[in-house]
Chain A
């Protein structure tokens, strides 16, 4: 396709460059292309040249290579200049001002002379509009804009430009009628319109090529599609050719009509001139007759002086002499001779053949030196001449003889006598008898044919050949003169040499001297050649090019479509194969997931069972050690008491390890129940104080508690908080020197809405490397702290996870040798703060994307609000957030009858179904009496994609109505 675009670009560039050169060199034929059509102005040629350069740049190879940016830059500049030129022209037209661009490059002197364009050099409105429309897709193509929303605009601009060009072009070659009469089109040149069509098609092809990048163009479609495509291409080409033929035929007919009219016009000129030439002698003869009428007697000398007073050769072409014939009865010949010889002609004699009662001797003939053989010749001695004489006498009209050979013409070429009778003055001449009686004589002209018609053909400007025939028949025998133009003529009855293949032929009747002549005119070869004008050829050429382009375009479109379909089919097959693979993988993953879940369940059960089985013997050992130590089994020595205390401590450590294992297993399996409620820190500390004191006492460690005055209540699962404190404290007790102090503190966090609980020991402290790996599962620091450390290293990992479930963060500050402070944060009891912490906690979760669902659960008929709250805590996941809605139960605080549940699940419906199933399971399976619940799904969001939107909407729903929990 790019080759076709490049060809269009090169041709357009060449044509426009030639036109610009033609303006400089005044070649009107190039600028107008066809006579009578408007010229392509210099500015139009310049704009189209820039457009074709832009198109060439876009179609050049290397668009995606190193040359790409340079080519696109060149294309952009050229297209922008063309567009600017058009825009300035339109601005001039609309605003009615001159910006000087029309005279900037060339003066349109030809157009100015013709007056067809008011402002020299200015392109027509249609041209300016089409050029502006054409420049837009070129600019967009240069910028490689791929926005779908602009593609239709680019295509539309190209198509409108093509349409404008096509309409103007069609109006030029068809009839130039309706459309040409519209001012918008009236001044667009034929080649301008052709270039708009070509360049517009080029831009469409470039755009099409761009849109099908990645699709192999030119690959053959499938057989079935190929047959349809081939048929379509042939049909398009056939329609194009048929239309071209139709237009061409119409153009040719019009050309022939025009040529016919021109031929008839030239023929008329020849006929009129020939007729005039033939009749010219009559004017001279009438003058001579008038001379006779005005004289009582005309002597030989008077006659000669009269003739010599006229320039015969110029005034009467073909006339070689003018004379006077007198009617002489045969019995008066002698008197006649005597009288004439006495009149300065002693040598005068009559030349006659045969015997006639009346002779018609030529009495005078001048100039005599050219006509001596005719002087005294008895015209009546030859039948043809005698007949003409007698006709002239009888009719009184100028009369021509038939074709004769003049006796004085040594060349013996065809000639005639033109006779005019002269009658006595004052005698009646109304009837034949009166005219015969009143006859004085006849004045006449001796004419040679070659002289009459010499140069007549020049009036036809070489477009006509003609022959003159005597009478109405047109044959070689009747022919008396033939002129082929260019000085070539023939006389007499020779075979015709007129243009035998003439396109145009006509015959005309000419009445002269009571005779009928026929003039046959034919078009000359030069004329015939001019009929084959460039107009029909141009139509054929244009039509052929456009039909070919259209067929190519359809073919390429079809190929691209077929390839696109093939590509889609191929991709679909790949996709189907991939989908099948994915389905298999999905099934496999689901199967593996089920197996993994079963394994996890089994593992958890094993841990649970092991834990259970461990705890019973541990209880026995611990209890009996305690019984012995307490002296219940008899007296115990101090050393024995010391050993028993060590044994009890070991049992406690082992029990902690078992608990850690169990908790870690629960956390991994998501089985840990979380029930967050508002608590004061003092309450939490108080509930755990005894157990912590027992642990600390084993190493004579003192625990100091510091709780900040006026500390806000926290929203947390109290048991989990105590477990975290216990783990941190256990850790601190392990690593603190015996008899040291551990500080358990609760303060406001540096961030608003948070409480920070810290455990500070006087142990060996931690290095930065230790801190980095401190909270991993089964991690134990490899320092002096580890000397006294026992267990699996799960304590801090569990503490971290439990803190996360309480929507807080755990951290440690330590310096080597200076003890350590482990602390964790908890959100204050404020819905907005709790929500903020919830979303922050979810943000660091590595859970896969799923739905975030907001439910509102209402206990319809409930005496004890704690029961549904407990139920909800039992069936929700640790990562779900359950907040009481105090709107429906004002004043009841956390134990209301409505709850918000915010959590992540695969789908809202599956969650609702799970809640329902769990409820029925507890009612039917465990025999619990649960209140009916109404569950409303308030909203769902994709998480984390819609996390921010979800946060805002959840806050609006939950915090907006529950200002305080």
Chain B
């Protein structure tokens, strides 16, 4: 069975681009446009990996990650940050908060696919 990827990003265009790329590579893709929706989807669908944006309205990526880690059903799901924020401190914070990866936009497709592959392999 193909792996399921949950994309939590407020940018619809990014959602579409990632969906096209991942679907083409055999992943099942779920999408959420904000943090609370993403958390609910994660709890409902139990994805294999989550691609999470950092800067979102209402709830930022760190808070989403904290809540996912706090919830037993989602705490083990690997979360990869995919963000346009390239500050060094943010990267350190993400690592400290328990993120499985940290990718920046614009990304190389191969980099994203490698990271998802690595995360799902570890999770499996």
**Closest chain A residue, CB of each to CB of B93:** A926
Indicate if A589 sits at the interface (CB-CB under 8 A). no
B 83-122 binary contact with A (CB < 8 Å = 1; else 0): 0111111001100100000001111110000000000000
Q: Which of B14, B55, B88 contacts A620, CB < 8 Å? A: B14
Q: Which of B89, B105, B108 contacts A673, CB < 8 Å? A: B89
- Give bound CA distance, A870 to B24, whole Å: 39
Q: Which of A602-641 contact B (CB under 8 A)?
A: 608, 611-620, 622-624, 626-627, 630, 632-633
Segment of B15-23, B31-39, B43-51, B70-78 engaged in the interface with chain A: B15-23
Given the known A-B contacts A612-B85, A627-B24, are A619 and B17 also in contact in the complex, defined by CB atoms under 8 Å?
yes
A-B contact pairs, 20 of them (CB 8 A): A611-B84, A614-B84, A615-B106, A616-B105, A618-B106, A619-B14, A619-B17, A619-B105, A620-B11, A620-B14, A623-B18, A623-B21, A623-B107, A627-B17, A627-B109, A630-B109, A632-B21, A672-B88, A673-B88, A874-B89
Top 9 nearest A-B pairs (CB, nearest first) are A619-B106, A615-B84, A619-B105, A623-B17, A620-B13, A673-B88, A612-B84, A632-B24, A622-B106
Q: What would 5 more interface pairs be, CB under 8 Å, given A615-B105, A694-B108? A: A615-B86, A623-B20, A624-B20, A633-B20, A673-B88
Chain B residues closer than 8 Å to A624, beta-carbon distance:
17, 20
Is the beta-carbon distance between A626 and B109 smaller than 8 angstroms?
A: yes
- Give bound CA distance, A633 to B23, whole Å: 12
- Majority SS of interface residues in chain A? helix
Chain A residues closer than 8 Å to B96, beta-carbon distance:
926, 928
Chain B residues closer than 8 Å to A774, beta-carbon distance:
none
Chain B residues closer than 8 Å to A90, beta-carbon distance:
none
A 865-891 binary contact with B (CB < 8 Å = 1; else 0): 000001000100000000000000000
Q: Which of A203-224 contact B (CB under 8 A)?
A: none
Interface residues of A (CB under 8 A from B): 608, 611-620, 622-624, 626-627, 630, 632-633, 651, 655, 659, 662, 672-673, 694, 870, 874, 926, 928
Chain B residues closer than 8 Å to A612, beta-carbon distance:
55, 84-85
Chain A residues closer than 8 Å to B11, beta-carbon distance:
616, 620
> Could you say which of B16, B55, B85, B96 has the most chain A C-beta atoms within 10 Å of its C-beta?
B96
> Could you say which of B14, B92, B107 has the most chain A C-beta atoms within 10 Å of its C-beta?
B92
- Give bound CA distance, A613 to B86, whole Å: 12
Is the beta-carbon distance between B24 and A616 smaller than 8 angstroms?
A: no
Closest chain-A Cβ to B111's Cβ sits at a distance in Å of 9
Closest chain-A Cβ to B83's Cβ sits at a distance in Å of 8
- Give bound CA distance, A630 to B22, whole Å: 13
Given the known A-B contacts A620-B14, A620-B17, are A615 and B89 also in contact in the complex, defined by CB atoms under 8 Å?
no
Chain A residues closer than 8 Å to B89, beta-carbon distance:
673, 874
Is the beta-carbon distance between B84 and A613 smaller than 8 angstroms?
A: yes
Closest chain-B Cβ to A345's Cβ sits at a distance in Å of 170
Is the beta-carbon distance between B21 and A627 smaller than 8 angstroms?
A: yes
Closest chain-A Cβ to B101's Cβ sits at a distance in Å of 16
Chain A residues closer than 8 Å to B107, beta-carbon distance:
619, 623
Q: Which of B84, B86, B92, B106 contacts A623, CB < 8 Å? A: B106
Chain B residues closer than 8 Å to A928, beta-carbon distance:
96
Chain A residues closer than 8 Å to B84, beta-carbon distance:
611-616, 619
**Closest chain B residue, CB of each to CB of A867:** B96
Closest chain-A Cβ to B98's Cβ sits at a distance in Å of 11
Chain B residues closer than 8 Å to A673, beta-carbon distance:
88-89
- Give bound CA distance, A611 to B108, whole Å: 18
Chain A residues closer than 8 Å to B104, beta-carbon distance:
615
**Closest chain A residue, CB of each to CB of B13:** A620
> Could you say which of A619, A622, A624, A651 has the most chain B C-beta atoms within 10 Å of its C-beta?
A619
